[in-house]
Structure 1
């Protein structure tokens, strides 16, 4: 569903985007009997929660996007739904407000890094810090605080490195997808 934003421009609702990203019809497949009619007179339909058999049809029609891209999206959706802190098992909520949110992890305790506004000696800056250092008083994590500018430079350097070795990266990535 698209709704108009107060500025008059269309605004996509998160659940609409989620439905699009999970819809198998974009790769030429179809899951039949996701819903069914419970009353033919009122034409009331309900979600099929294992009441009737469902059937999955592969390659039933022309795909809109490559299957590999769809599968990558499914892996990422699963990763975001299952974010956990490794140290204490706390379930984390995926936050997409910033580009690097929920994808930068501490090398010492494997906790996520969070974007923080820092004011040190009257100088304001944006830094990324380990969540365990932010949440736990007396945390023994010795991970460094990283300026956002340095983090962005490191990410750009990594992307350029991967791009330079694109063929090797794609082969490895495809093997990882098949394994997953």
Structure 2
């Protein structure tokens, strides 16, 4: 028993040394991980500078890995990509496009039957469908957490033109990006259900009219528009209007606009003609030239007489 305290001290010293050893080994391991991460990052960025990049082919709709290792168009999937862009340009939302593809029985790139809006938005925003590639959209600032964050200028990014065959024309892609931005600014007001959705503003409360369907399952089916605040806290009292009334009002307003513009065009032409007449009248020096010639002749006669 007399040596128990000595054994305890030795065990304590051993444990203390073991903790120090673990700390040292952990530090060495962390430095090694940092070194490996820096080397990998350097190689990747050098690859990016050379315009080289890689993608997850198994999850990239529209492309396969070609024999040369580059992107090659998968014509069957490319039809789906073109359809997505076409439906969006026609006015559909990402959510509605997803439902449309699902209802048509078109499978996702991973073979799933159901599409979702996030996938559609990813397709619409992917510049690689134009044959170009923006490289290093994200980066990993911490080699320990390995969490990728969006690159907002912290590290260089690269844009490679004509790096692979295009599925979507660049002009079409740019048009889609502008339309996506416009819809984002409109927020929840935008809907692809009707061309009038998000366009009719309530004159009483400032809210927007939305489409509602009455008697959707029988022959008396009607589409009406009413203020979205009608049954909210504001309880807007503005009456609803039918789709036929809106169409008639639109046609009337459009015809009036065309007529007014035509009238304005005629008025502009008349004003321009009057301006030309005034300019011609003010700048016509024929009479002055004749009077000048007459005076010069009289002056010449007087000179001869003297």
TM range (shorter): 0.5 to 0.7
Which of residues 147, 154, 157 is equivalent to 2:242?
Answer: 147
Decide whether aligned partners of structure 1 residues 25 and 68 sit closer, same or farther in structure 2, where only a CA change above 3 A counts: same
Q: Secondary structure at the match of 1:83?
A: helix
What is the CA-CA distance between 1:66 and the residue it aligns to? 1.5
Which residue does 1:47 correspond to in 2? 149
Which residue does 1:62 correspond to in 2? 165
Q: Does 1:116 align with 2:219?
A: no
Between the aligned partners of 1:106 and 1:75, the Cα distance in structure 2 is 23
Between the aligned partners of 2:121 and 2:249, the Cα distance in structure 1 is 30
Contact 2:140 2:149 (C-alpha < 8 Å) held by counterparts: no
RMSD over equivalenced CA pairs, Å: 4.4
Between the aligned partners of 1:25 and 1:78, the Cα distance in structure 2 is 19
How big is each residue's C-alpha offset from its partner over 1:112-131, in whole Å with a ceiling of 9 and x where there is no partner?
A: 32012458xxx874301233
How big is each residue's C-alpha offset from its partner over 1:155-174, in whole Å with a ceiling of 9 and x where there is no partner?
A: 8x7xxxxxxxxxxxxxxxxx
Greater relative contact order (Cα < 8 A, sep 6+): 1
Q: Does 1:127 align with 2:224?
A: yes
Contact 1:114 1:130 (C-alpha < 8 Å) held by counterparts: yes
Which of residues 167, 171, 175 is equivalent to 1:72?
Answer: 175
Q: Does 1:14 align with 2:110?
A: no
Count residues with an aligned counterpart: 143
Which residue does 1:166 correspond to in 2? none
Q: Secondary structure at the match of 1:82?
A: helix
Contact 1:29 1:56 (C-alpha < 8 Å) held by counterparts: yes
Decide whether aligned partners of structure 1 residues 153 and 68 sit closer, same or farther in structure 2, where only a CA change above 3 A counts: farther
Between the aligned partners of 1:66 and 1:154, the Cα distance in structure 2 is 37
Between the aligned partners of 1:154 and 1:59, the Cα distance in structure 2 is 48
Contact 1:35 1:45 (C-alpha < 8 Å) held by counterparts: no
Give 1 or 2: higher helix fraction: 2
Q: Give 1 or 2 for the bigger CA radius of gyration.
A: 2
Decide whether aligned partners of structure 1 residues 49 and 101 sit closer, same or farther in structure 2, where only a CA change above 3 A counts: farther
Q: Does 1:28 align with 2:123?
A: no
**Counterparts of 1:82-97 in structure 2 under 5 Å?**
82-83=185-186, 92=188, 94-96=190-192
Decide whether aligned partners of structure 1 residues 137 and 33 sit closer, same or farther in structure 2, where only a CA change above 3 A counts: closer
Between the aligned partners of 1:38 and 1:137, the Cα distance in structure 2 is 48
